[in-house]
């Protein structure tokens, strides 16, 4: 009979007399069975539990160490984690030896430099913890593991991950660690192995070529290869990638301002880079947007669907081949240092639209990479690296790859293309392309000349300093010789570099970039000219007419010649006369209707009588404007304030700043005819909840009244704004005040849910108070009394109120930033100076009359897919060839181009004179106007004059004045840039004008064509700044930053320059605009809607104040550094 464990346990139980203690309540055999069942489970779960406990103990130790690390700085001043890591590694190494008998074989095979360790993850990678500890203790090297992002979100593990260098594992960060000679560890299977791994411990690659395997394969492939920098000699791009790039660039990068960019994804096979996917960089204006996180998220999603997700470069759109800049080189340097095989693809949308696919691949040369690594761009460094503009970058051969199925599809599609398709590529009207290339080439040459001048100045300064050093040394030697002759000790040696500080060397990278860009433009011009000559020879046969066509062609040539002669006969005077009649009064219109018709031109003859009438009207207008300017200097201001509890600081601000407000206005030449105050609360504060001070000239009386106002009251969120506005309008305004202003400060809208606010707050009168005055009556009285309304914006709660007011006000209401109390002074002063300006076509905003266009405001952009495309033409005035052409009053030549366009049915904004519509312009060089194969799409803003024309035939002449003014200003801006950039005060800001064009639309159901002004549309919310008006308003320089003050000085210098270069003939003023950086990294000041004062007072419309406006400008103008650099002189008298 065998003696087993159960018998032994029974004897032991009997020995302890347990049965006497517990009686019959214990079943020994059942207890033994439970212990046999749970012992393995407890043993299996014990190790992971201990591991988890060890991890938390480790993290706790490191956290405590981190708190006291400053006491160890003297011992470990290089790495605060060094001591902590070694203590923890010693604990884990002891645990591995005691618990598992852990040992490492072949540790000597780890190379001394960078190495990649691939390990099996499993449920818990305990063996990896042990090898990390062992190598850190005995080899002194830290292994950087690649961890999943969820590890960084586990509470309490941040210190552990930071101490042992765990990284998220981007391609760039891993490559950087390996290049620095560090050890990198990665588990390709990750948590997937923990779930599906087995006892064979096989690495689960899941049929994908991940980062680690790819890197190792690439390293092994090139282990015996010679050490060269350029490992890519061919870029193979999938056809789908090319289609994606083309679509993105045509949607976002077809204008001269926007640049489309994106990420390239793919693989490297030998020396061939295969680009198999791409995605664009988003155009996100949010400051919190992280572009790197966006790229990583995109690549992670692509990896999940088994799409190539390795980052291999980037792409960018360009205009006319002008892609090279310092920013471009820095970006590519960053890519090549992070991703060795990366390339950049450059795509030109405009050239592609003309029938030539322009897609090229580039990389920086090894010399350029070495130069950027040294971060020294001086002349000596460039010479040391043997670098020139020709060796900055190199073009890599590019091929487009398609699958066999795609090639078969393309063959079938090519048979479906009409026979006439492609003939548009023989279009000879390509002078504009050559003109743009030559203009860009000229700009680059001017910039290169400026840099050359700077370097010449530096060389002269160096030579001069060398001469001064020699003189100093000679003088020192002579003095020492004299001292020795007198028996005195010589002067001690002195470091000459402390006496003469070295002159900083100007960087030479920018001139090299400009030289490379000039060479690229020259190559483009050469290629373009050769293609144009080829098209001329190809089309020569088509130019030979058949005998039966001679008569028709001769008649067409005769008619074109006659039309050309008629156009040449019109002078600038005639154009100005027609524009004045189109915008004139009943007397001029009546005189035009009685004019005799020209039988050839089918238009009225411009005789001496009508010219005299227009000149007489212009003189009368000048006298009226002179009276208006004089009267507009007399100011009446009513302060309309919400006097509830939240407005206490603003009431005190008005009281404290009113003296400074009056002083500034009087210093600008204005006179205060009266100050008034209207305070309002809400209906819950009683029926008479207003505090009113009628107009007074006494500042002390005004301050005393405001001091008595107590900011309190108010129940629900809205206040009685309409009641306060009604009291302000009904005041007895001073009769001799030419400018009357209501300056409104409030932080809450009127009562009326969905009309004045969004209903988020309580409103006791959601449909408005029964005693609220109608808005139509309020603003009708405001227009009748010629009151200007300005709103001091404190927060966004009143934005809907202002939008509602604008529908009845008849124009845009200016909102001035008054969130800070200190801004009240600037806001009030700015509103007064803007109001004194003489507006373009009317003295004050007017409501829509019966002879105006019917409209309704729709601020949302329409669905373009549902709108029809209309046929139309675009008229553009050509720039004058010289300044003499401007001063000779010659007619500006125009050119007309066909187009198709879409116009939103309702305007999105209304001014005092025009309505503004969203729109799109579609240009096509194809003979088939319905074809979209080579369309150029521009976002546009169309502006239409509200009032109907008095004479339908002269409708287009109402727009010609603005076209002429902007074209003349654009020509003078070119001259201004050319001369200012050659001076010592080069601002590196180019001044341009937004060119206006005239669009003519004719639909079959229309009796007469429709005319609209067309301007380029800017996406986003550009910050429009008004620098000057057409009298003597100048933007307050104190409210601008340093760059803003610089642009203000440039705008004032340009106005002075326009008067000087035309010998006093005209002055360009009323300047406002936006700033942006173009594709070449050049900052642009883009101005729009200028006014021109001209001695020929019938030119340039009603904003031309002739000598009155010129004298007003120079009376206030003070020459700045740009005026002095250009040698501009103030006019005599």
Annotated active-site positions, please? 121
Cβ contact 991:970 at 8 Å? no
Tokens representing 828?
Answer: 């009030």
Give which of 948, 718, 910 is closest to 807, Cα–Cα: 910
Distance CA(910)–CA(895), nearest Å, equals 29
Distance CA(1058)–CA(1066), nearest Å, equals 7
At a CB cut-off of 8 Å and minimum separation 6, what does 642 contact? Answer: 679, 680, 681, 719, 721, 724, 745, 746, 747, 748
Give which of 366, 335, 211, 322 is closest to 264, Cα–Cα: 335
Distance CA(1073)–CA(1116), nearest Å, equals 21
Beta strands 1010-1016 and 935-945 are antiparallel
Q: Which stretches does DSSP call E strand in 888-929?
A: 894-903, 909-910, 914-924
**Residue indicated by tokens 């090898």:** 131
Distance CA(375)–CA(388), nearest Å, equals 16
Q: Looking at the DSSP assignment, which residues form a beta bridge with residue 275?
A: 237, 266
At a CB cut-off of 8 Å and minimum separation 6, what does 345 contact? Answer: 235, 237, 245, 264, 275, 313, 314, 315, 316, 359, 360, 361, 398
What is the full DSSP assignment across 577-623? HHHHHHTS-HHHHHHHHTSPEETTTTEE---HHHHHHHHHHHHHHHH
Cβ count within 10 A of residue 290: 11
Exposed/middle/buried for 358, CB within 10 Å: 0-12, 13-18, 19+?
A: middle
SS3 assignment, position 795: coil
Cβ contact 349:934 at 8 Å? no
Tokens representing 482?
Answer: 């004299």
Q: Provide Rg for the chain, Cα atoms.
A: 40
Tokens representing 197?
Answer: 């791994």
- Our CA dihedral for 712, 715, 716, 720, rounded to 10 degrees, sits at -70
Exposed/middle/buried for 1072, CB within 10 Å: 0-12, 13-18, 19+?
A: middle
Q: What is the DSSP letter of 203?
A: -
Q: How many residues does the chain have?
A: 1133
The region that residue 596 occupies, defined by phi over 0 for left and psi between -120 and 50 for alpha, beta otherwise, is beta
Give which of 229, 297, 232 is closest to 263, Cα–Cα: 297
Longest distance between any two alpha carbons in the chain, whole Å: 146
Tokens representing 915?
Answer: 């309505």
Give which of 86, 200, 66 is closest to 132, Cα–Cα: 86
Give which of 715, 696, 699 is closest to 707, Cα–Cα: 699
Q: Phi and psi for 1125 in degrees, rounded to 5?
A: -65, -35
Q: Is the dihedral of CA 445, 451, 457, 462 positive or negative?
A: negative
Beta strands 143-145 and 183-186 are parallel
Q: What is the DSSP letter of 631?
A: H
Distance CA(809)–CA(813), nearest Å, equals 8
Cβ count within 10 A of residue 1090: 28
């Amino acid at each position: 009979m065998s003696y087993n464990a159960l018998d032994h346990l029974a004897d032991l139980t009997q020995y302890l007399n347990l049965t006497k203690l517990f009686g019959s309540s214990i079943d020994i055999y059942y207890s033994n069975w439970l212990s046999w069942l749970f012992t393995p489970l407890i043993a299996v779960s014990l190790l992971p539990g201990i591991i988890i406990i060890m991890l938390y103990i480790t993290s706790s130790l490191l956290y405590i160490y981190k708190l006291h690390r400053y006491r160890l700085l003297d011992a470990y001043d290089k790495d605060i984690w060094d001591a902590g890591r070694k203590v923890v590694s010693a604990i884990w190494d002891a645990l591995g030896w005691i618990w598992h008998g852990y040992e490492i074989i072949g540790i000597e095979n780890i190379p001394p430099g960078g190495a990649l360790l691939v390990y099996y993850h499993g449920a818990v990678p305990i063996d990896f913890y042990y090898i990390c500890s062992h190598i850190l203790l005995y080899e002194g090297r830290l292994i950087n593991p690649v961890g999943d992002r969820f590890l960084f979100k586990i509470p309490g593990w941040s210190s552990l991950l930071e101490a042992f260098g765990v990284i998220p594992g981007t391609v760039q960060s891993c490559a950087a660690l390996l290049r620095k000679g560090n050890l990198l560890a990665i588990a390709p299977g990750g948590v997937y192995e923990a779930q599906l791994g087995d006892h064979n411990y096989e690495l689960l690659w899941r049929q994908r070529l991940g980062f680690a395997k790819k890197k190792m394969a690439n390293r092994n492939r090139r282990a015996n290869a010679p050490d060269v920098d350029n490992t890519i000699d061919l870029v193979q791009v999938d056809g789908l990638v090319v289609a994606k790039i083309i679509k993105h660039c045509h949607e976002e990068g077809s204008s001269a301002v926007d640049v489309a960019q994106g990420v390239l994804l793919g693989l490297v096979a030998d020396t061939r880079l295969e680009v198999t996917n791409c995605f664009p960089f988003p155009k996100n204006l949010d400051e919190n947007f992280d572009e790197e996180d966006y790229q990583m998220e995109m690549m992670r999603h692509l990896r999940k669907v088994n799409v190539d997700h390795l980052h291999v470069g980037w792409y960018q759109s360009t205009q006319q081949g002008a892609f090279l800049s310092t920013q471009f080189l820095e970006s590519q340097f960053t890519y090549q240092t992070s991703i060795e095989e990366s390339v950049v693809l450059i795509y030109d949308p405009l050239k592609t639209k003309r029938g030539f696919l322009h897609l090229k691949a580039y990389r920086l040369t090894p010399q350029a990479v070495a130069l950027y690594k040294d971060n020294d761009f001086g002349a000596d460094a460039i010479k040391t690296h043997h670098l020139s503009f020709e060796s900055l970058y190199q073009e890599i051969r590019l091929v487009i790859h398609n699958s066999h199925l795609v090639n078969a599809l393309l063959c079938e599609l090519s048979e479906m293309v009409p026979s006439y398709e492609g003939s548009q590529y023989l279009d000879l009207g390509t002078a504009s392309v050559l003109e743009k290339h030559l203009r860009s080439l000229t700009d680059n040459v001017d910039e290169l000349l400026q840099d050359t001048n700077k370097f010449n100045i530096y060389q002269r300064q160096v030579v001069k300093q060398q001469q001064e050093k020699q003189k100093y040394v000679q003088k020192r030697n002579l003095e020492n010789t004299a001292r020795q002759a007198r028996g005195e000790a010589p002067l001690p040696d002195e470091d000459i570099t402390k006496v003469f500080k070295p002159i900083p060397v100007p960087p030479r990278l920018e001139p090299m970039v400009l030289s490379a860009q000039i060479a690229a433009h020259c190559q483009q011009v050469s290629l373009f000219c050769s293609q144009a000559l080829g098209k001329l020879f190809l089309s020569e046969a088509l130019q030979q007419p058949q005998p039966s066509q001679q008569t028709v062609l001769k008649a067409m040539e005769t008619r074109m010649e006659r039309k050309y002669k008629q156009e040449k006969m019109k002078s600038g005077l005639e154009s100005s006369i027609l524009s004045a009649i189109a915008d004139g009064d009943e007397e001029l219109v009546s005189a035009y209707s009685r004019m005799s018709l020209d039988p050839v031109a089918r238009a009225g003859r411009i005789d001496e009588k009508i010219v005299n009438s227009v000149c007489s009207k212009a003189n009368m207008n000048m006298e009226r404007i002179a009276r208006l300017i004089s009267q507009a200097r007399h100011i009446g201001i009513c302060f309309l304030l919400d006097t509830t509890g939240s407005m206490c600081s603003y009431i005190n601000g008005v009281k404290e700043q009113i003296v400074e407000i009056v002083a500034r206005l009087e210093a600008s030449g204005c006179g205060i005819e009266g100050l008034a105050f209207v305070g309002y609360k809400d209906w819950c504060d009683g029926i008479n909840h207003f505090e009113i001070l009628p107009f007074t000239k006494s500042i002390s009386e005004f301050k005393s009244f405001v001091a008595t106002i107590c900011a309190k009251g108010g129940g629900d969120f809205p206040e009685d704004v309409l009641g306060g506005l009604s009291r302000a309008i009904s005041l007895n305004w001073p009769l001799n005040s030419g400018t009357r202003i209501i300056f409104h400060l409030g932080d809450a809208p009127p009562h009326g849910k969905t009309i004045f606010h969004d209903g988020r707050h309580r409103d006791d009168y959601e449909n408005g108070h029964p005693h609220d005055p109608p808005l139509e009556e309020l603003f009708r009285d405001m227009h009748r009394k010629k009151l200007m309304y300005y709103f001091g914006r404190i927060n966004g709660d009143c934005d809907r109120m202002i939008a509602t007011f604008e529908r009845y006000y008849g124009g845009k209401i200016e909102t001035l930033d008054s969130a800070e109390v200190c801004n009240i002074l600037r806001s009030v002063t700015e509103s007064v100076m803007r109001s004194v300006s003489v507006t373009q076509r009317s003295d004050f905003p007017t409501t829509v009359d019966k002879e105006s266009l019917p409209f309704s405001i729709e601020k949302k952009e329409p669905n373009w897919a549902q709108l029809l495309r209309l046929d139309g033409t675009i008229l553009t005035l050509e720039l004058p060839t010289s300044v003499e052409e401007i001063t000779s009053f010659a007619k500006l030549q125009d050119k007309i181009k066909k187009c198709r366009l879409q116009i939103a049915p309702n305007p999105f904004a209304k001014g005092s004179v025009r309505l503004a519509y969203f729109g799109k312009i579609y240009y096509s060089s194809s003979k088939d106007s319905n074809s979209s194969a080579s369309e150029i799409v521009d976002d546009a803003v169309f502006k239409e004059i509200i009032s109907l024309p008095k004479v339908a035939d002269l409708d287009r002449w109402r727009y010609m004045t603005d076209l002429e003014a902007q074209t003349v200003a654009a020509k003078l801006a070119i001259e201004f840039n050319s001369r200012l950039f050659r001076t010592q005060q080069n601002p590196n800001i180019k001044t341009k004008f937004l060119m206006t064009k005239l669009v003519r639309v004719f639909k079959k159901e229309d009796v007469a064509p429709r005319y609209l002004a067309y301007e380029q549309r800017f996406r986003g919310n550009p910050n429009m700044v008004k620098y000057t008006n057409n009298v003597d308003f100048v933007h307050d320089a104190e409210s601008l930053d340093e760059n803003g003050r610089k642009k203000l000085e440039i705008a004032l210098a340009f106005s002075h320059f326009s008067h000087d270069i035309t010998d006093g003939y005209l002055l360009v003023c009323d300047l406002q605009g936006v700033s942006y950086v173009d594709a070449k990294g050049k900052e642009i000041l883009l101005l729009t809607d200028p006014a021109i004062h001209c001695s020929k007072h019938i030119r340039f419309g009603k904003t031309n104040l002739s000598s009155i406006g010129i004298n007003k400008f120079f009376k206030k103008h003070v020459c700045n550094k740009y005026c002095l650099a250009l040698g501009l002189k103030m006019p005599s008298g």
